[in-house]
Structure 1
Amino acid sequence: MTATDVAAPSAAGAGVAPAVAPAQRCLAFRKYQGLGNDFILVDNRDSAELSLSPAEAVALCDRHTGIGGDGIIFLLPPNAATGAAGDACTASMRIINSDGSEPEMCGNGVRCLAVFAADLGMDTATLVLDTLAGVIVPTVAPGGGAVRVDMGVPVTDPPAVPTTLPETTAPVTVDGKAWTMTGVSMGNPHAVTFVSPEDFDAIDKDLERLGPQFENLSSVFPARVNTEFVTVDAPDAVRMVVWERGAGRTRACGTGACAVVVAAVLTGRTERTVTVGLPGGDLLIEWNEADGRVYMTGPAELAFTGSVMV
């Protein structure tokens, strides 16, 4: 740098140090998607602290000025948690939504993280993940692509969802209309409502208006809520659209699909193994009667890799 590269201080500003822009750093990432639910994946195994702030995550998720995504998922070092079989965790998972909030879990996201871990050379045959929703165990099929995930035991006790519903399934008034809602937690709160095929199509078209009203119904769902609108096509097949807490309309929601099957079984609408059709594709969900756990099987794919200055 030559002397002409630095402006001399004015008399008024003599002795005052010029403002220094915050130092930028280069962040490597990989972009994955599961049924169109897309995430920026970051290898954060060198620290238990997240490498991005919520504000930085929001900026990177912007689809016009950033990378674009429904959220950012961090692969972190393991901690002392253990799974249902007593296996120690081999890694941890945290998520920041596109609005900067941090959810407990994400079903499509955990499948993407499992494929990400495999792509990084981790042994996914023994992958046990600690999340804010508890321990999750994904299994990547040979050759990648399909991932089966033990999503754990669903919670339907209203205070634990959490919801102020007087029972697991009860009516709620939203947008001047009574809706029968079933509250289910898959580590994060869900409100499931079943509708006719005709109403399903109308709700899909009006989701951007209706969705926020359900998400922010704090008198009933104090932690906000993911909302699934569902129509039953057969005892083993349903379709759903979802308004996700912190992300809005998404093409798929893995925990939501699990919650839908739990709600459908509880209300006598379906069998325990169901194909759930989402805008982005299908998930196979099983609520196993023997162990009470929910198993989700579906795809996760690498979209692209890159690096970005933050």
Structure 2
Amino acid sequence: MSIRFTKMHGIGNDFVVVDWREDAKTPSAARIAALADRHTGIGFDQLLSIEPARDPSCDWYYGIWNADGSPSGQCGNGVRCVAAWLYREGVIARNTDVRLESPSGPVTVRVLAADQVMVDMGEPEFNPEHLPFDAPQEAGSYMLDIDGQPVTIGAVSMGNPHAVLEVSDLRDPHLEALGPAITGHPRFARGVNTGFAHRVDRRRIDLRVHERGSGWTRACGTGACAAAAVLQRRGLVDAVVDVALPGGVLTIEWHGPGHTLWMTGPAAFVFEGEIRP
């Protein structure tokens, strides 16, 4: 049986969205990886499924799979695309808070326009056990050993795990090897998304992210949230900060512990297609 899909992206982080509201499926990792191939498949960073909610307090559930077929707990750019897709289908309204269920728990979305969505990403979680990350206790920074060299990171969960490193130059060629080395570091039991953050000023961060399961991406919504949270916790940026990634800019607002973090950014439709057996 063929499956209709929608190709979408959020500032260059691209997705295939499938409508499984009537007939939810569990795709194999090999099938997802084949579809994600940019030469012989459709090409995408993540596959997103829209399904009936498991949690009765939520309107819809969305599943997330990385390009290598592994499952993911959260995707900031992806949830904006899910919200825009549901809005286009006429099942959620504009300027109305809607509760969606992700693999890592509920999130609230607010469609501001057909191509602009706000997302309540929840409160950043700095407890290393929740990433999970091997550390004796919570700290503002941690030292990692990378091939005998110490590297300083911040660690936070935004529904998925993130390591954030402050750097002075995002074009430094050493980052090409450092990103994968941190993403697969053994102290992160399930891998980690690695963000390299350059603080331009108190209102802007430039960011590159190496994602577990997908590699270098043009954008990472949860990565933008993580970078803003780590730097704001260190007192280096304001409560509202623009995070510029290779694909575009997201606005992150977080007022510190006890508050949830909001992300605002675009969602774009690219084309419709059909996946055949």
Q: By the TM > 0.5 criterion, same fold?
A: yes
Residue 185 of structure 2 corresponds to residue 210 of structure 1: no
Structure-2 separation of matches of 1:181 and 1:94: 29
* TM-score normalised by L of structure 1: 0.84
Structure-1 separation of matches of 2:160 and 2:55: 22
Instruction: Give the equivalent residue in structure 1 for 2:9.
Output: 33
Indicate conservation of the 8 Å contact 2:228/2:237, yes or no: yes
1:127 partner SS: strand
Structure-2 separation of matches of 1:158 and 1:53: 30
Residue 41 of structure 2 corresponds to residue 62 of structure 1: no
1:128 partner SS: strand
Mapping 1:112-261, distance limit 5 Å: 112-124=81-93, 125=96, 127-142=98-113, 144-166=114-136, 167-168=138-139, 169-197=141-169, 200-202=170-172, 205-218=173-186, 220-261=187-228
Quote the offset at 1:44 in angstroms. Answer: 0.6
Instruction: Give the equivalent residue in structure 2 for 1:5.
Output: none
Indicate conservation of the 8 Å contact 1:27/1:307, yes or no: yes
* TM-score normalised by L of structure 2: 0.94
Instruction: Give the equivalent residue in structure 2 for 1:3.
Output: none
Q: Deviations over 1:16-41 (max 9, x none)?
A: xxxxxxxxx21100000001000000
Quote the offset at 1:77 in angstroms. Answer: 0.5
Mapping 1:19-30, distance limit 5 Å: 25-30=1-6
Structure-2 separation of matches of 1:33 and 1:265: 27
5+ long unaligned stretches in structure 1: 1-24, 82-87
**Counterpart code for 2:263:** M
Structure-1 separation of matches of 2:147 and 2:257: 40
Instruction: Give the equivalent residue in structure 2 for 1:90.
Output: 59
After superposition, the Cα gap between the structure-2 partners of 1:292 and 1:35, relative to the gap in structure 1 and judged at 3 Å, is same
5+ long unaligned stretches in structure 2: none
Indicate conservation of the 8 Å contact 2:224/2:250, yes or no: yes
Indicate conservation of the 8 Å contact 1:191/1:225, yes or no: yes
Aligned residues between the structures: 273
Mapping 1:294-309, distance limit 5 Å: 294-309=261-276
Indicate conservation of the 8 Å contact 1:207/1:249, yes or no: no
Larger Rg over CA atoms: 1
Quote the offset at 1:267 in angstroms. Answer: 1.6
1:270 partner SS: coil
Instruction: Give the equivalent residue in structure 1 for 2:53.
Output: 78
After superposition, the Cα gap between the structure-2 partners of 1:308 and 1:48, relative to the gap in structure 1 and judged at 3 Å, is closer
Percent of matched pairs sharing the same residue: 40
Structure-1 separation of matches of 2:112 and 2:126: 31
Instruction: Give the equivalent residue in structure 1 for 2:250.
Output: 283
Structure-2 separation of matches of 1:306 and 1:48: 18
Aligned CA RMSD, in angstroms, stands at 1.5
2:30 partner SS: helix
Indicate conservation of the 8 Å contact 2:118/2:264, yes or no: yes
Indicate conservation of the 8 Å contact 2:80/2:267, yes or no: yes
Indicate conservation of the 8 Å contact 1:33/1:302, yes or no: yes
